[in-house]
Amino acid sequence: MKKVFIIAEAGVNHNGDMKIAKQLIDAASESGADAVKFQTFQAEKLVCKTAQKAQYQLETTDTSETQYDMLKKLQLTQQMHTELMEYCDKKDIMFLSTPFDIESIRLLAGLGLQIFKIPSGEITNLPYLREIARQEKKVILSTGMSDMAEVKAAVRVLDENGAKDITLLHCNTQYPTPASDVNLLAMLKIHEETGLPVGYSDHTQGIEIPIAAAALGAEVIEKHFTLDKNMEGPDHKASLEPHELKQMVEGIRKIELALGTGIKQVSASEKANVDVARKSIVAAADIHKGEKFTEENLTTKRPGNGISPMRWDAIIGTTADRDYKADDLIV
C-alpha cells in the first residue's frame, strides 16, 4: 500500500511567536508526520477590516477584536518563512504552508514550495485557483463547505491552468466537527466521481476519525495540532497536543501495515497454526485391515496434518490397507 502522507497542521497555532513555531516543528518531526504546515497570508489581502469572526473564533479569542485584528497578529513575514523552512530542513520534515491570497501564493512559489495546499474557503475563488495552477506544482485541495459540482468546477480550473497533480481532501470546516457531520464515505464518492487521489482533512476532536479515513483509503491526512490546547488563539482547542499527534501517526502507520496486499492467502505468522487448528480424518474406533471405511468408524479431529476432511466423500467406502487404532490418522 502507498504510504499515507501525514500533514501536521500547525496553522496559526504559533501565535506569531517564532519560538513557538519552532517548537511546533519539533513536535511534528518527533511525531513521525511527513510535513508540518503553516498558513501564509496578509491580513489586508485576506479579509475586510469589518469582517466578523466565525463562531468558534469568538469562543476562543478576544470578542472585542475583529477578524482582521486577530489575523494581523498571526501573519508571518517572508523572513520568518525562510527561517522556518531552514529549521524544517534541520529537523528532516517537509515545510508546507497554505496561501490565502495571490501575493502569498507568489511568495511561497518564490521560496521553492513544491506542494500547494488550497484551503476549503478558496474552492470558489477563480483568480486564486488559476494562480495556484500556474505554478505547475502538486496541489492538495480541501473541499469543506462544497458540493460535488463545486469540487468538479475547481478541479476543472486547476486542470485547465497547469496544475500537475491534484489530490482532493474531504473536509468539514466546523471547529470542532461533530462526528455526525463527518460523512467519511463522501471521501470515497469524491474519488469515484473525479478519479483523483483523495484524503481527509480533520477537524474532529480525537484521533479515531483520521485513522478510520486511512483505513478507507485516504492517501493524505491533515490534522491540526498545538503545544497546549489551553493556549490563547482561535484553533488551539480543536487541535491535538503533541502526544496525541504521535498516537495518531502511529495509528495510521499501523493501519497501513494492516491493510496489506488484498490477496487472500495464509500469512507468514499463521502458517504454524494450520496443523494445530484444522482437523484430519481419523479412526473413530479400531479398524482392521480389509475393513471398509464408514461414517461410523471414521471421524474428524485435530491435528490437521493428515487427510483433509474435504476428502471425506472420497475416503468413505474405500478399504483400509492396514490396522488402525482409535484416533489414528488415516493415511
The pLDDT of residue 50 is 83
The pLDDT of residue 130 is 98
Lowest mean pLDDT among 66-80, 135-149, 176-190: 66-80
Residue 150: which pLDDT band, with cuts at 50, 70 and 90?
very high
- Percentage above 70 pLDDT, the chain: 100
The pLDDT of residue 63 is 81
pLDDT at 19 over 60: yes
- Rounded to two decimals, the pTM is 0.90
The pLDDT of residue 62 is 78
pLDDT at 64 over 80: no
pLDDT at 324 over 80: yes
The pLDDT of residue 51 is 85
pLDDT at 47 over 80: yes
- Which among 94, 74, 70 is positioned nearest to 84, based on CA atoms? 94
Q: Which helix (H) or strand (E) holds 19?
A: helix 18-31
Q: Which helix (H) or strand (E) holds 118?
A: strand 115-118
pLDDT at 1 over 60: no
Distance CA 15, CA 136 (A): 31
Handedness of CA 159, 145, 168, 122 (dihedral sign): positive
Once rounded to an integer, what is the mean pLDDT over residues 5-20? 97
Give the residue with greater pLDDT, 227 vs 54: 227
Give the residue with greater pLDDT, 278 vs 63: 278
Q: Three-state SS for 240?
A: strand
Residue that has been written with the C-alpha cell 490534522 in this structure: 223
The pLDDT of residue 81 is 98
Distance CA 42, CA 31 (A): 30
> For residue 126, what are the CA distances in angstroms to 101, 104, 155, 204, 232?
12, 16, 11, 29, 34
Q: Which domains does the chain have, with CATH numbers?
A: 5-259 (3.20.20.70), 268-315 (no CATH)
The pLDDT of residue 229 is 95
pLDDT in tens, 297-316: 999 999 999 999 999 999 99
Residue 93: which pLDDT band, with cuts at 50, 70 and 90?
very high
Highest-scoring range by mean pLDDT, 50-64, 66-80, 185-199: 185-199
- Average pLDDT over the chain, rounded to an integer: 96
